[in-house]
Structure 1
Amino acid sequence: MKTRRLLYALMATTALGAPSLTPAWAQAQTAPPSADPTQPAPATQGVPTQLDAVTTAAMRSRRPLDDVPATVSVITTENIDRENMQDVRDLVRNEPGVTVGNNPNRAGFQNFVIRGIGGNRVLLMVDGMRTPDFPDSNQGAGTYSREQPDLEDIKRVEIIRGPASALYGSDAIGGVVAYTTKDPGDYFRDGKNVYASAKAAYSGANQQFTESFTGAVRSGNVEFMGIYTRRDGQEYQPAQTTISPNPTTWYNNNFFAKLVIKPTEVDTIRLTGSYNQSGQSTNVLSAVGTFPSLFARVYDEWGQDYTNTYRISAQWEHNAPIGFVDRLSFLAYFNSVYTQADTYTLRGGVTSVVPSNARTSQFYYTQNVTGAELQMHTDREIGGLDNFFTYGLSFSWTTTTRPRNRTQITLATGATTNSVGGELYPNKNFPDTDTVQAGIYVQDEISALGGRLKITPAVRLDYYNMTPNPDKYFWNSTGATLNAVPSATTYVSASPKLGLLYHFNDTYSGYFQYATGFRAPPYDNANFGFTNAASFYQILPNANLKPETANSFEVGFRGKYENGSSWQLTGFYNLYNNFLETTVVGMVGPVTQYQYVNLTNVTIWGIEARGEYRFAPEWAVAGWTAFAQGTDTRTGLPVDSVSPWTTQARIRYGFDKGLVAQLIGTVAAAHTAVSNPTYFQAPAYFNLDATVGYVINDHFKINAGAFNITNAKYWNAPDTIGITPTNPQLDLYAQPGRYFGVNLLAKW
């Protein structure tokens, strides 16, 4: 037992946050040897495989993918550089069953969609911190996007598919995207205590230029690093389009720093901070025209968007026993996002010849997340079986506000008013809200049958409290006809999970997992209050909403071979209940009343497979396929956010040093499973990419790529939900045409 505890303590250095720039497939080689299958198995059988990649998010401790009863992707710094990933769209470009939504008119990237479930139903985390969310009511605003960390700060991205509330609580109903940032210790080599690098990158998809500078220094038991990244770009250029995208220029400044102190051999303290500042200017041509539904003609529209994001955290790791606790980690953090969207519009009546008024709008969104988490591990032998307990407590307090202001100027007289379009400004569509989330969780990894069988039960108990704070600006939005008042709500939920994994032999294994998901009704769905007298509709708050829930069943089989070849086949069946939708609940005179209610039950099932065959020392073919089908069980109609059947294949030369080249082909079926026959059905497509990387020497490395080589015109199906084939802006939703990318790294 003492030896095993030492191995767990050694593993904890990475499990609790100590990073490494070693490629993920090679990290398993450095794991301590152990006969216990709850530990990462050393790659002694032969060449490391894809299944030896290490995940820390899936089990909240360091595990190779081959030892996890779930489907998880691990994307490393090497992957990001080699495939010229510059944003989150690039990040999931080659991931089965995962997409990132995009609003091409102005907002840009939206949310991750995992197996047909997206939005705030996918939890985003950075170094274990909950990140600010993306209010559902922002979907139609057209000026908001969900903030993501800069990829230059990131060492590893892990994507957990399916419900994960047993370990992560509310909002992990569709999956988890966990970012891990770099450590200064990742850079020191050959006994050196100083490191510096400069990186330049270009992406032709949106004429993006990137410059990044990294420095790290070590003195005794203290390490420090800093990264500054500057990005400048323009609008994306869709393939074969006949219309011009909205002219856009944008910039992004990102500052990242981390201080690591090791006061003792078993203690590590990390202080991490980042600041991201971005701005965007858009000539919104897509908003220009005559719109009878708005009773207006728009002559010109400009948008100016600004976003500031702050992250700061402090983490203490203790890798030695304290009583019954073998090791622990305590994390405290603060995340903040501030967004300001300014819009300037020239308008007139539907039949106007010249504009009659000008509107200026300022929409704001601020969310602060303050949180803490205590995570502990205990290794015990109980009843002759090895048990590895992971357990802890988490707490977060979130404050959210979204004020809106608008002024209209009559051009002929210069008169101004704050009563515009039937709304009185300034206002708030939902009240300022305080949200408190607290949870306690425990997971046990039980090894039996000589280590071949691993049983992993887990459960989490969550407390969720939401307190709205309506003020005069909220009542400005709701109007005098509102007959429902926002009220505080509290939810308590238990989320269990059970995983079974069996190693038939050193080559083949299989697993089964039952997992549950829980998502409390968000602040804007529950308390959205809005009256538009000009258009005769109203949205009422609803304090009686139920949490959304999920039950997921997944079974999989894996094989890995001495030459580095491997494969995985997965089938899943997910049941989602009480999804929130808006529906008509009444009429008050000519005003139609809407309200968010628990209306939809969804079933999504599918099959995913991926594998790699290394047919020669430097050559491999790899690929994946993903098929899913979703049904709204209330209506019997398809779920639009489920992507069509997609398959990817690649041939690769080289693996680590020297030259690495890839040819990647992706085929997708037509998106015919839409809930309304009048919706656009994204056609089938074939896309071809090629990448090449070369390590020139110890100081220089270059990566280049050609993407959408055939200049295919194709759409990411979830981007076009609800759009009709006759929509004049349809081309803007297409993916970028043929473009090239390159990045060059120089380090000392």
Structure 2
Amino acid sequence: MYKKSILSASILIALSQGAYAEDTSTFNEVVVSATRTNQTMDTVAASVAVVSEKDLEENMAKDLNDVFEYTPGVTVNGTQRQGVQSINIRGMEGKRVKILVDGASQPGVFDGGPYSFINSSAVTVDPDMLKSVEIVKGAASSLHGSDAIGGVVAFETKDPSDFLKDGKDFGGQAKLSYSSEDNSFSEHVALAKQFDNVEALVAYTRRDGSELQNFAKAPYDDYSVTDQDYYKNDLLVKLQSQLNDDHRLEFLGEVIYNQTDSDIASSSYKNFNAEDTTKQNRLGLKHIWFADLAISDTITSQLTWISKEENGVTNRFKEASAGHPPWVPANGDNQQKKDYEYTEDKIEFETQLDKEIQNHYLVYGLSYKHSDISNTNREFNSDPSTPDKVYVYTPDAKEQSFGLFLQDEIALLNDKLILTPGVRYDYFSTDPSDTSDESFKKFSDSAFTGRLGATYKVSQPGTVFAQVSQGFRAPSFDELYYTYDNPGHGYTNRPNPDLESEKSLSYELGYRHNTAASATEFALYYSDFTDFIDQTSTSNGGLTEYTFININEATVKGVELSNSLDWHAIASLPQGVTTRVAAAYTEGEDGNGNPLNSVNPWNAVAAVNYDSPNALWGTSLKVNYTAKKSDSDINSDGNNGGTKDQVALPSATVVDLTAYYKPMKDLTVRAGVMNLTNEEYYLWNDVRGETELSRDITQAERNYNISVKYEF
């Protein structure tokens, strides 16, 4: 077996110094999240997608929707008011997908209920801060714990040595961008400096923009955003030091502050506007010990603290008229202010040991997380007959989890066959505080999850891969304890602290064919979920009662295909002509045979690219096709996870054209025409839950992007 401990150590340093592959026509990208080891994609027994910094630049990504736009099987969910909230992988979303930034898990998604008075996103990092994104498709609980039952998305931010190349002790970049999609401007600057054995990085991104320029026209539907202004700030600081041959120390600090001001359409209120702010602070410390001990060759320990605060302020004014509270003030006009706040303070510690013993490569370790979660919702009214209120959607809660994991990578048959068994134990608990109106019982659960993966080289360019993996997800605090009564509007929410943890068993089989001129991957997958958590509604005394329950079963299955070709090597076309095609088809249903509405319709992406041999200019034409989601693929049972009279989704074909030019060595100018044919189209995640298609939730009209980046 090749000396993987030495290879992993060298790759680990290289990754921390920003070395990553940019060749999109092969499987040479180094991935970590799928196996917790440093492997090239062609040796991983799982479906993994990588979005490199080169991809982000070429796609002119300015938000998470752009980051995953050309990754079939991966989409984002969000609202007009608060933006992107979560990531969907093969129909699994929200807290079923684990989000990592620089190896640390992020605060969870929080859905504050109808009308979007308060929501919290799982991801706040800016695309200009990123150098790579890894997407592990399918259950990864045996390595990453509870939230990874649907997959993992791992974001890696830039490091000092990404800019300190060719022996330089100072470097950086400056970038200016504009997009007519939302009339946004962004400014990004990164400065790196080496001081003896310490490398430092300071990076900052600012974005200012407005509402999406889509096909919406007045009059607008209720709760649609009619006007919006936002600004986003992301400041990242890193200090990294190779103390000696055996020890490496890395520190990071990040401050994110975003604010969005929105005017919202309403037929009930004369004025309706919102102010939403996100504040997130992150501190991290990582120590890498190249120990060369009997129990470990390398020990990597990481401590991360994150504090996140979401504040949603809603102001709305209602004139006095005939009626009765709470909709119409009885005595006079009412200026109402809803001040909702969600906070999460998280601390996480993880240590991982790597050891190579003959043809075995062992990875084992432990992780611990503790989160303090609070949701405070206040309402203030100017009308004396409408009292001020404090709403308790969820009690304050403490979440804790502890995990132990072990994986063995076994090389057999002269490294042609690699088996990767793994097992993990997780303990999870949620301890809620009592409120003035109700007491809640503590939740706790534990589980063992296992995985067996295999890759086999059937020929020099061809590899078969397969895996069987178990998944586990403990219910989140809001699924357990969300409670809110609104009899005036005819509904109520009931907590369910007796929820069981979700479990899954997944199978995947695939084939990769990799040469200097082409790269092809084909994968089939099937997942069985038991005790799947879903929200249901029942009629109770004239009220619609919502609660989360465990449904008996759910299944998700599908197929994915990708291919990249270098046409100069294949057919003697001009050097620099390449193509890429990728497609994903997923279907899912619950135990009653109803379709899972979280599953997106199948989609495919095709791209034709040209890069001049001297790398001075290039262009790319991308076509993104999304199929129709018809009634037969939709759950319209409003009492069992669906939406009564759910509208179908029409198919759409979107064309994007981009180009770049380098007038000098370190200066790159990019421009793009997005939605070239001005297609009026929708995303399923926006249409889901709607009974009719509204232009208010269409995607952007034809729009233009331009950016200028200078590297030094």
TM-score for the superposition, normalised by structure 2: 0.92
Q: Counterparts of 1:537 and 1:227 in 2: how far apart (Å)?
A: 47
Q: CA deviation at 1:401?
A: 0.5
Shift of 1:83: 1.2
Q: Does the 8 Å CA contact 1:229/1:255 hold for their aligned counterparts?
A: yes
CA–CA distance in structure 1, aligned partners of residues 441 and 601 of structure 2: 41
Query: Does 2:88 align with 1:88?
Result: no
Q: Is the 8 A contact 1:137 1:525 kept in 2?
A: no
Q: Where do 1:260-271 residues align within 5 Å?
A: 260-271=240-251
Tell me the CA shift for residue 645 of structure 1.
1.9
CA shift digits 1:7-26 (9 cap, x unpaired): 34323324xx614154443x
CA-to-aligned-CA distance 1:192-218 (integer Å, 9 cap, x gap): 101132110111111110001111110
Of residues 643, 648, 653 in structure 1, which corresponds to 2:600?
643
Paired position in structure 2 for 1:125: 100
Deviates more, 1:233-242 or 1:297-306: 233-242
**Match status 1:198 vs 2:170:** no
> Contact 1:640–1:718 (CA<8 Å) still a contact in 2?
no
Q: What is the CA-CA distance between 1:591 and the residue it aligns to?
A: 5.5
What displacement does 1:580 show?
2.1
Change (3 A) 1:136 1:171: farther
1:323 CA drift (Å): 2.8
Distance 1:99 1:698 in 2: 35
Residue equivalent to 1:612: 564
> Structure 1's 582 and 11: CA in aligned 2 closer, same or farther, altered over 3 A?
closer
Instruction: Indicate yes or no: 2:438 matched with 1:471.
Output: no
Is residue 704 of structure 1 aligned with residue 702 of structure 2? no
Structure 1 partner of 2:377: 404
CA distance in 1, matches of 2:6, 2:53: 29
Q: Distance in 1 between matches of 2:68 and 2:466?
A: 25
- SS of the aligned residue for 2:16 comes to coil
Q: Does residue 99 of the first structure (1) align with residue 75 of the second (2)?
A: yes
Asked if the contact 2:5/2:354 (under 8 Å) is kept, the reply is no
Give the distance between the partners of 1:698 and 1:583, measured in 2 at CA.
59
- Show CA shifts across 1:211-241 (max 9, x none): 0111111021011010111110000012475
Which residue is 2:532 aligned to? 579
Task: Find the counterpart in structure 1 of residue 628 from structure 2.
Answer: 670
| 1:697-722, Cα deviation, whole Å (9 max, x unpaired) | 33211222111000101111122112
What are the ranges of 5 or more consecutive residues in structure 1 without an aligned counterpart?
26-47, 290-296, 420-424, 479-484
- Which residue identity is paired with 2:522? L
Change (3 A) 1:335 1:711: same
For 1:191 and 1:528, locate their aligned partners in 2 and report how far apart those are by CA, in whole Å.
56
Choose from 346, 357, 369 the match for 1:380: 357
Aligned mates of 1:3, 1:100 — CA distance in 2: 40
Q: Is the partner of 2:143 in helix, strand or coil? A: helix
Q: Which residue of 1 aligns with 2:572?
A: none
Matched position secondary structure for 2:670: strand
Q: Is the CA contact (8 Å cut-off) linking 2:456 and 2:463 kept in structure 1?
A: yes
Distance 1:308 1:348 in 2: 34
Letter of the 1:678 partner, please give it.
Answer: D
> 2:196 matched to which residue of 1?
220
- Following superposition, the deviation at residue 251 of structure 1 comes to 0.5
Q: Is 2:55 aligned against 1:79?
A: yes
Looking at structure 1, the residues matched to 193 and 19 of structure 2 have their Cα atoms a distance apart, in angstroms, of 16
* Aligned residue in 1 for 2:255: 275
Determine whether 1:299 maps to 2:270.
yes
Task: Report the CA distance shift for 1:247/1:69 in structure 2 as closer, same or farther (over 3 A).
Answer: same
- Per-residue deviation, 1:330: 0.4
Q: 2:315 aligns with which of 344, 352, 357?
A: 344
The corresponding residue for 1:51 is 27
- The 1:586/1:96 distance shift into structure 2, 3 A limit, reads closer
CA distance in 2 between partners of 1:660 and 1:237 (Å):
28
Change (3 A) 1:739 1:535: closer
Counterpart of 1:496, as a letter, is: G
Q: Are 1:392 and 2:365 counterparts?
A: yes
Which residue is equivalent to 1:500? 454
Counterparts of 2:45 and 2:670 in 1: how far apart (Å)?
34
- Structure 1 380/302 Cα, relative in aligned 2: closer, same or farther at 3 Å? same
One-letter code of the match for 1:578? Answer: D
Q: Distance in 1 between matches of 2:43 and 2:321?
A: 63
Secondary structure of the structure 1 residue equivalent to 2:382? strand
**1:281 Cα deviation from its structure 2 partner:** 0.8
Measured against aligned partners, the alpha-carbon deviations of 1:38-63 in whole angstroms (never above 9, x if no partner) come to xxxxxxxxxx8331122111111211
- Structure 2 distance, partners of 1:581, 1:456, is 33
Aligned amino acid, residue 251 of structure 1:
Y
State the AA in 2 paired with 1:357: N
Matching residue's letter, 2:691: T
Look up the SS of the partner of 2:650 in the other structure. coil
| Contact 2:274-2:312 at 8 Å conserved across structures | yes
Report the equivalent of 1:543.
497
Aligned equivalents of 1:494, 1:5: Cα separation in 2: 27
Residue by residue, what CA displacement relative to the aligned partner does 1:161-183 show, whole Å, maximum 9, x if unpaired? 11110100011111111011111
User: In the TM superposition, what is the alpha-carbon distance from 1:537 to its structure 2 partner?
Assistant: 4.2
Separation in 1, partners of 2:537, 2:232: 42
Matched with 1:631 is 589
**Secondary structure at the residue paired with 2:27?**
helix
In structure 2, distance between residues paired with 1:89 and 1:329: 32
Give the equivalent residue in structure 2 for 1:746: 710
Q: TM-score under structure 1 normalisation? A: 0.88
Matched residues in 2 for 1:646 and 1:655: separation? 30
Q: SS of the counterpart of 1:80?
A: helix
RMSD: 2.2
Superposed CA offset, 1:558-600 (max 9, x none): 111233x11111111111222223345784x666654322125
The aligned residue for residue 84 of structure 2 is: 109
Give 5+ residue unaligned stretches, structure 2.
569-574, 637-643
The 3-state SS of whatever aligns with 2:414 is: helix
Query: Which of 200, 211, 232 is the aligned partner of 1:235?
Result: 211
Task: Give the aligned residue type for 2:558.
Answer: G
Q: Are the aligned partners of 1:109 and 1:145 in contact in 2 as well (CA < 8 Å)?
A: no
| Aligned equivalents of 2:124, 2:367: Cα separation in 1 | 22
State the alpha-carbon separation in 2 of the partners of residues 539 and 2 from structure 1: 57
Q: Is the 8 A contact 2:111 2:120 kept in 1?
A: no
Verify the 8 A CA contact 2:117 2:313 in the aligned structure 1. Answer: no
Given candidates 270, 275, 281, the residue that maps to 1:310 is 281
2:84, 2:536 → 1: CA distance? 27
Q: Is the Cα contact below 8 Å between 1:279 and 1:306 reproduced in 2?
A: yes
Give 1:486's match in structure 2, choosing from 440, 447, 454: 440
1:691/1:703 contact within 8 Å kept:
yes
Alpha-carbon distance in structure 1 between the residues aligned to 2:280 and 2:119: 14
Q: Match for residue 431 of structure 1? A: 395
CA contact (8 A) 1:581 1:600 kept: no
Contact 1:509 1:558 in 2 (8 A): yes
Quick one: which of 337, 346, 351 aligns to 1:369? 346
8 Å Cα contact 1:240/1:737 also seen in 2:
no
Per-residue CA shift, 1:484-519, capped at 9, x if unaligned?
x31111101111111011011211111111112111
Partner Cα separation in structure 2 for residue 204 and residue 576 of structure 1: 43
Once residues 4 and 275 of structure 1 are traced to their aligned partners in structure 2, the CA distance between those partners, rounded to angstroms, is 37
What is the aligned-residue identity percentage? 26
Question: Aligned match of 2:187 in 201, 211, 214?
Answer: 211
Q: Show CA shifts across 1:88-142 (max 9, x none).
A: 00001000111111312x1221211111111111111111111011124447535
Residues 23 and 78, structure 1, Cα contact 8 Å, conserved in 2: no
Q: In structure 2, what is the Cα distance between the partners aligned to 1:19 and 1:69? A: 26
The count of aligned residue pairs is 685
Larger CA deviation: 120-129 vs 320-329:
320-329
Equivalent in the alignment of 1:259: 239
**The residue matched to 1:736 in structure 2 has which SS?**
coil
Give, as a single letter, the amino acid of the residue that structure 1 aligns with 2:247. Answer: D
C-alpha contact 2:26 2:515 (8 A) present in aligned 1: no
Amino acid at match of 1:404: N
Secondary structure of 1:302's aligned partner: strand
Give secondary structure in 2 for the equivalent of 1:66: helix
What secondary structure is seen at the aligned counterpart in 1 of 2:100? strand
1:320 maps onto 2:291 in alignment: yes
Contact 1:107 1:142 in 2 (8 A): no
**Counterpart for residue 119 of structure 2:** 144
